[in-house]
């Protein structure tokens, strides 16, 4: 799981990132609100952990901005020294999914993170076949059909297609797709993703008349969208 952490205390940030990394997660740390906002609006994350009191920003105001800008309902955990009932209510009403008071106990923090992910990002369907409009995905056989006709896909094409359908509506950055589908670090040339997505558009027939389109988000990545209006134009490569 990829986590973005906003914390201005270096010692605490190193401790939290160390805990997350030790338990199999990837942690990207930001010290300022400005850096954090740039990070989470240009990259894909599975969870955000935010402090309230920052040297350059107010955590509640950042939270409100995120909820108004992000199209995907990424879970947000507030981790702060503020501990009054009013503080907790304010953060939850502003869009936080959970609230913890520092210092957080490591075991409880990890358990709350897992609970948040379960609640906001349900596990992919376990049925052998999933149906998305005219598309049918069979994970066991690793096949995809369109209107009952099988599509010729490579293994990576199949994995990328399944991931995009299971995360439809979510902005997926090129770096995030490289990490999740190819299992490589973000330093690798992201043109690999562009090539595969361009090919998928043709192979899958993701276009308005089939109910879906892959929209390119400039300088960010891609989003698989359901299309209601058959007259909506398809996003260019």
pLDDT tens figures, 179-202: 888 877 655 567 788 888 998 888
- Verify that 41 and 107 share a domain, yes or no: yes
Cα 25 to Cα 181: distance, rounded to the nearest angstrom: 16
Judged against a pLDDT cut of 80, whether residue 19 lies above it is answered with: yes
- In which band, very low, low, confident or very high, does the pLDDT at 55 lie, cut at 50, 70 and 90? confident
- Verify that 168 and 215 share a domain, yes or no: yes
Q: Residues of the chain with pLDDT > 70: what percent?
A: 91
Asked which of 65, 88, 120 is the last residue of a domain, the reply is 120
- Verify that 10 and 88 share a domain, yes or no: yes
Q: Between helices 33-42 and 59-69, what is the axis angle to 10°?
A: 20
SS3 35: helix
What backbone torsions phi and psi does residue 6 show, to the nearest 5 degrees?
-110, 110
- Verify that 74 and 147 share a domain, yes or no: no
Q: What is the CATH number of the domain that holds 111?
A: 3.40.50.2300
- In which band, very low, low, confident or very high, does the pLDDT at 234 lie, cut at 50, 70 and 90? very low
The whole domain housing 180 covers 129-226
pLDDT of residue 231: 44
Number of domains into which the chain is organized: 2
CA 217 to chain centre: 14
Asked which of 120, 140, 171 is the last residue of a domain, the reply is 120
- In which band, very low, low, confident or very high, does the pLDDT at 121 lie, cut at 50, 70 and 90? low
pLDDT of residue 169: 84
- Verify that 53 and 106 share a domain, yes or no: yes
Q: Please state, rounded to an integer, the average pLDDT across all residues of the chain.
A: 87
Q: Residues of the chain with pLDDT > 90: what percent?
A: 51
Q: Please give the residue that has the higher pLDDT: either 58 or 122.
A: 58
Cα 71 to Cα 170: distance, rounded to the nearest angstrom: 7
């Amino acid at each position: 799981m990829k986590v973005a952490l906003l914390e201005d205390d270096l010692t605490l940030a190193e401790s939290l990132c160390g805990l997350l990394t030790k338990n199999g997660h990837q942690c990207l740390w930001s010290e300022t609100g400005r850096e954090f906002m740039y990070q989470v609006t240009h990259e894909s994350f599975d969870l955000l952990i935010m402090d309230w009191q920052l040297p350059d920003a107010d955590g509640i105001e950042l939270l409100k901005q995120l909820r108004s800008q992000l199209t995907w309902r990424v879970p947000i955990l507030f981790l702060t020294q503020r501990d009054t009932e009013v503080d907790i209510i304010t953060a939850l009403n502003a869009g936080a999914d959970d609230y913890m008071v520092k210092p957080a106990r490591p075991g409880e923090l990890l358990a709350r993170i897992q609970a948040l992910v379960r609640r906001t990002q349900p596990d992919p369907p376990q049925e052998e076949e999933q149906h998305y409009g005219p598309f049918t995905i069979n994970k066991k056989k690793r096949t995809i059909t369109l209107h009952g006709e099988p599509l010729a896909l490579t293994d990576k094409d199949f994995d990328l297609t399944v991931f995009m359908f299971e995360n439809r509506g979510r902005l997926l950055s090129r770096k995030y797709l490289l990490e999740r589908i190819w299992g490589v670090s973000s330093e690798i040339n992201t043109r690999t993703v562009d090539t595969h997505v361009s090919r998928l558009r043709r192979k899958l027939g993701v276009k308005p008349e089939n109910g879906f389109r892959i929209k390119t988000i400039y300088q960010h990545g891609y989003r698989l969208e359901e299309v209601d209006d058959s007259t909506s134009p398809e996003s260019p490569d």
